[in-house]
Homo-oligomer: A and B are copies of this chain.
């Protein structure tokens, strides 16, 4: 079973961004993180993203707010960031208190580097690659492409239909673009005859948020398995799949940690970089084209 290393491929993307930022700049790209309340995993994720920004020479600003902040006040802040020409991307870290759940929809589509607003999601469905594509789906696509795993006409089964992974991934991989153009099955925890479908898949993406849920009985011989899960338990990190069980049957696997996770962060910076570049109209606008160049250059 070949290991598809997100650590290796994300490095290529970060190097590419560094290269793209060489030479005299009017200003550095700037990414704003809004962190509401005190949620330990959110703190971890934001600090990882901030470190990645530093690594490639991007400016990051972390805005820390109490859970009691009013909707109106946070709304006003977001609208200010939308107008601020020195800000290229805005991220509001999830989860949010219930009264603020609709706030991320206010982020201007061209600064929505998470790709979660209806405009960016709709552009993805319609195959308009000038939108900002959600980071995890984008990362999975680049990871497979780097290892020359074309999905063309193949059957990709996706377990889990979240708005940040399953749904946008289904829409991305069904686009008629090189390396995608797949048949997609989008499944969920209640799906009847789940295994009958996953066992016909050439590629199985598991994003159901259940520790070591999927074993070899879910896949056909030689399938590629992408594990999107991440679970911390007694000091160890686990995915949604039982790696040992898969090892004799799968042809390739994205490990946890070191698989999809670093790709997600790299694609967040890639989205920010593209948003920045578009502002200065210095490059072609399609991030997929940009990145195709980037990944084939070094690999």
User: Given A168-B125, A183-B192, A185-B184, are A131 and B154 neighbors across the interface (CB < 8 Å)?
Assistant: no
- Specify the chain B residue showing the minimal Cβ separation from A194: B183
B171 A181 Cβ-Cβ under 8 A: no
B125 A155 Cβ-Cβ under 8 A: no
Q: Which of A28-36, A63-71, A76-84, A114-122 participates in binding chain B?
A: A114-122
- Specify the chain B residue showing the minimal Cβ separation from A191: B183
A190 at the binding interface (Cβ < 8 Å): yes
CA of A183 to CA of B171, assembled, Å:
15
Contacts of A163 in B (CB 8 A): 125-127
Contacts of A197 in B (CB 8 A): 155, 183, 185, 197, 200
A87 at the binding interface (Cβ < 8 Å): no
A145 at the binding interface (Cβ < 8 Å): no
Contacts of A127 in B (CB 8 A): 163
A4 at the binding interface (Cβ < 8 Å): no
A186 at the binding interface (Cβ < 8 Å): yes
A210 at the binding interface (Cβ < 8 Å): no
CA of A116 to CA of B122, assembled, Å:
9
- Specify the chain B residue showing the minimal Cβ separation from A173: B186
A170 at the binding interface (Cβ < 8 Å): yes
CA of A194 to CA of B168, assembled, Å:
23
- Name A166-219 residues within 8 Å CB distance of B: 167-168, 170-171, 174, 176, 181, 183-188, 190-194, 196-197, 200, 202
A249 at the binding interface (Cβ < 8 Å): no
A155 B122 Cβ-Cβ under 8 A: no
- Specify the chain B residue showing the minimal Cβ separation from A166: B174
A231 at the binding interface (Cβ < 8 Å): no
A191 B122 Cβ-Cβ under 8 A: no
A47 at the binding interface (Cβ < 8 Å): no
A161 at the binding interface (Cβ < 8 Å): yes
Contacts of A153 in B (CB 8 A): 190-192
B161 A191 Cβ-Cβ under 8 A: no
A123 at the binding interface (Cβ < 8 Å): yes
CA of A93 to CA of B120, assembled, Å:
25
A11 at the binding interface (Cβ < 8 Å): no
A128 at the binding interface (Cβ < 8 Å): yes
B200 A125 Cβ-Cβ under 8 A: no
CB of A245, distance to nearest CB on chain B (Å) = 23
What are 15 pairs between A and B in contact, CB < 8 Å? A117-B122, A118-B131, A119-B119, A122-B125, A125-B163, A154-B192, A155-B191, A155-B193, A155-B197, A167-B171, A170-B184, A181-B188, A184-B186, A185-B197, A197-B197
Instruction: Please list the 9 inter-chain residue pairs (A to B) with the smallest Cβ-Cβ separation, ordered nearest first.
Output: A118-B122, A122-B122, A121-B122, A183-B191, A185-B185, A153-B190, A153-B192, A121-B125, A118-B123
